[in-house]
Amino acid sequence: MEFSQHNDKTALFENRKLFLRFNQRKIDQALKVFSEPVRTVFLTIPRLLHVNQKGLPGYVEGDPPCGIYNYTIDRQAQFSGERLFPDHVIRRAENLKPAIQSLMLVGSMGS
């Protein structure tokens, strides 16, 4: 029994690692073929889903849950957001209540 659980955990860890590597390759490939405007929007969407800020697309009044679990804004997303919304400083909510467990691109690069 213990041997099987160890193998299951090892397989799960290995599969997750392979999936993340495959997923990153798909993202990298998409970013290479997208035009600059499409790339900018693609990189900004997760950031917009991570905040609920007045003046930005998707804003909902009040204090609704928003955010993506374990999402970290990288430099590309930061610069893309600044490019699309130069008059706004996009800030992470102080009391973040993530409502999104995962964000996926489905199909042939999201077509």
- SS (HEC) of the chain: CHHHHHHHHHHHHHHHHHHHHHHHHHHHHHHHHCCHHHHHHHHHHHHHHHCCCCCCCCCCCCCCCECECCCCCCHHHHHHHHHHCCCCCCCCCCCCECCECCCCCCCCCCC
Find, among 21, 27, 13, 19, the residue nearest to 74 by Cα: 27
In the predicted model, is pLDDT for residue 98 greater than 60?
Answer: yes
- Would you say residue 1 has pLDDT above 70? no
Using the predicted structure, report yes or no on whether residue 80 has a pLDDT greater than 80.
Answer: yes
User: What tokens appear for 91 in the block?
Assistant: 């800030």
**What average pLDDT does the structure give for the chain?**
86
Delimit the domains of the chain by residue range: 1-33, 35-103
Q: How far apart are CA 86 and CA 11, in angstroms?
A: 45
CB 68 within 8 A of CB 103: yes
pTM of the model: 0.78
- Tokens encoding 101: 């467990």
For 36-79, what is each residue's pLDDT tens digit? 999 999 999 999 999 988 999 999 998 888 899 988 888 999 99
